[in-house]
A and B are shown apart, each in its own frame.
Chain A
Amino acid sequence: MSFVKSTAFKYIPILVFAVIIADYFFAIASLGSVAEVLRQFAVVISNIALGLGVISLLRIHGRNVQRRLEGRWQYSIVTIITFVTVFILGTINANGAQYTWAFNHVYTTLQQTMYASTGFFIVSSAYRAFRARNIDAALLLIAGCIVVFTNAPIGEVIWSGFPVIGDWLLGPGQLPGYRVLMLIAGFGTIVYAYRVITGNERGFFGGE
C-alpha cells in the first residue's frame, strides 16, 4: 500500500491534470475523449463520496452510542434512527407521501429555521461592530448605513440620494477591491494545483 501511495497516487494527479489542462488548451479529438471520461470519473467519485459519508456518519454515531458517550449518545441515536427511517422511506418510494411529509415538515422547517436565525446574529454582530471608535470604523459605519438604506425601499423615501450613493458603493466603489481579492484567490488556486501535481499536497493522503 505504501508503494501505491508513494508512487501510483503521486502520478495519478499529474496525469489527470495534464489531460484536463491539455484538453482546455488544445483542440485534439482523442484527448477530448479521454478528458470526457476523466470528468465522468470525477462525478462518479463525488457520488461515491456521498456513500462514504453515510458509512462514516453511521460508524461514528454508532460508536458514540456503543460507548455511551456522555451528553452525545442520545443525539447519536436520534441521528441514526432519523437516517434509517428516511432512508427506508426514500428507498420504498422517493415520491411517496411519508417521505414527502418528512421532507416538507421536518427537513424544510428545520433548515429554514437555522438559516433564519442568521438574521438575528447579524444584527447582534452589527450592534457590536458598527461603532465609530476611530475614523476607519466611522467610515465603515456610514457606508454600511448607506448600503442598508439602498437595499430597503424606505431608504429612497427618507432620502433619494441613498440609492445613488449606495449603488456607487456597491458598484465602482467596491469593485476594484473585490476584483483584486478574486484575482488573488485565483492565484492561490493555481498554487494549490501546482502543489497537487508536484506531489507536495499530501492532505488527501491522510497526512502521510
Chain B
Amino acid sequence: MQKKKNNEMILKDGRIVAFVLLFGSFVLYYLFTRMMEQGKPFKIRTLAPLEALPEAVGRCAEMGKPIFYMPGIGSSLSLSSGAYILAGITILGRLAHFAAKAGVKLRLFTVTIDAMPLIQETIKTAYAVEGKVEEYSDDNIELIANQSSLVSRYLGAVQRESPAAACLIGYLAYESVVLAEAGNVVGAMQISGTVNLYQIPFLVASTDYTLIMEELFAAAAAVSGDAGAVGPIAAEDVIKFVSLGIMILGMVLAPLGITFLVDLLGL
C-alpha cells in the first residue's frame, strides 16, 4: 500500500495478506455464529473423551471412589495458557454436573490462583442445578503453590485416596506424564487433553482418552453449546479447507518454480 501524501495510515510491509486473512476469518466466524443463532444446526462431532466423562463418573460411583480433576498449570490471564485453562474449566462444568448427579466426590487440584473463583463458581453451579448444593464443598478444591508442589501433592492424594478416574484437561507441562502415571498405578480411568504439543505423546501413551490440540476447544464448545462457541469452530473447518487448498496449490507450483503464491502470501 502506498504511503499517502498527508501521512494517513499505512499498512506495514509483509502484513497485508495477514491482515486480510485475519479479518476475513473474523467475518467468517461472525457469519457462522449468526447462522447458528438463526437455527442452522452445526454439530460438533462426537468426541470420545467427552463421551467418556459419564463413564468415568459411573466407574467412580460403582467403586465408591472420588474422581480427580486437574485443569492444568499457568495463569488464566496468560496468552500461552489462559485459553486452555478456561477450556478445561468449561469441561469441568460438565464433569461436575455428572458428579453431582451421581453423588461422586469431585476433587480438584490447581495452581491457577486467578481462576479459583471461576472454578468454585463452575462446580457450585453444577451442584445447584442438580439440587445438591449442600454437597458442594470448597474443601474439595485444593490450591497449590506451584507446579512441582502440585506434582507431589497430587501423587500423594492419588496414593491415599485411590481415585477410580482422573481428568487432566487444560494446559499441561512436564507434570502430565507424572500425574498420568500416578493414576495408572492405582488403576484409574484417565481422560486428558492439552494443546501443549510436546506433552501429547505422553498423554496418549499414559491415559485412556486424549483430547488432542484443538479438540480441547471443540470439546469446550460442545459442552457450552452456545452459538458464540460452536459457530467459530464450524467456521474454522472452512478456514482449514482453504488452508489445505493453499498448501496443495503451493505443493504443485513450487516444483515448477512458480513463486506467485509465495510472493502473494508474503505481501
Chains A and B share a contact (CB less than 8 Å): yes
Cβ of A25 within 8 Å of any chain B Cβ, yes or no, is yes
A126 surroundings in chain B (CB, below 8 A): 205
**A188 contacts B205, C-beta separation under 8 Å:** no
Residues on B with beta carbons closer than 8 Å to the beta carbon of A203: 76, 86, 89-90, 115, 118
Is B217 within 8 A of A129, CB to CB? no
Hey, which chain B residues are within 8 Å of A181, CB to CB?
A: 197, 200, 212-213
Kindly identify which residue among B82, B143, B151 contacts A57, using a CB–CB cutoff of 8 Å: B143
Task: Check A195–B229 contact: CB distance below 8 A.
Answer: yes
Does any Cβ of A come within 8 Å of B72's Cβ? Answer: no
Binds B, one of A89-97, A116-124, A162-170: A116-124
- Residues of chain B within 8 A (CB-CB) of A46 are 75, 77-78
Complex Cα gap A174–B105 (Å): 41
A175 within 8 Å of B (CB atoms)? no
A66 → B minimal CB distance (Å): 12
Please classify the interface of chain A as helix (H, G, I), strand (E, B), loop, or mixed, using the class held by over half of its residues.
Answer: helix
Which residues of the other chain, A, contact B29 by a CB distance below 8 angstroms?
Answer: 191, 194
Category for how many chain A residues contact B: 35 or more
**Could you pull out 27 A-B pairs where Cβ atoms are within 8 angstroms?**
A28-B10, A46-B75, A46-B77, A49-B75, A57-B145, A60-B116, A114-B148, A115-B148, A118-B177, A122-B202, A124-B184, A126-B205, A128-B205, A181-B197, A181-B200, A182-B197, A188-B216, A190-B22, A191-B29, A192-B217, A194-B25, A195-B229, A200-B229, A203-B90, A204-B77, A206-B121, A207-B118
List residues of chain A with CB under 8 Å of any chain B CB. 21, 24-28, 45-46, 49, 52-53, 56-57, 60-61, 69, 71-72, 79, 110-111, 114-115, 117-118, 121-122, 124-126, 128-129, 178, 181-185, 187-192, 194-195, 198, 200-201, 203-204, 206-208
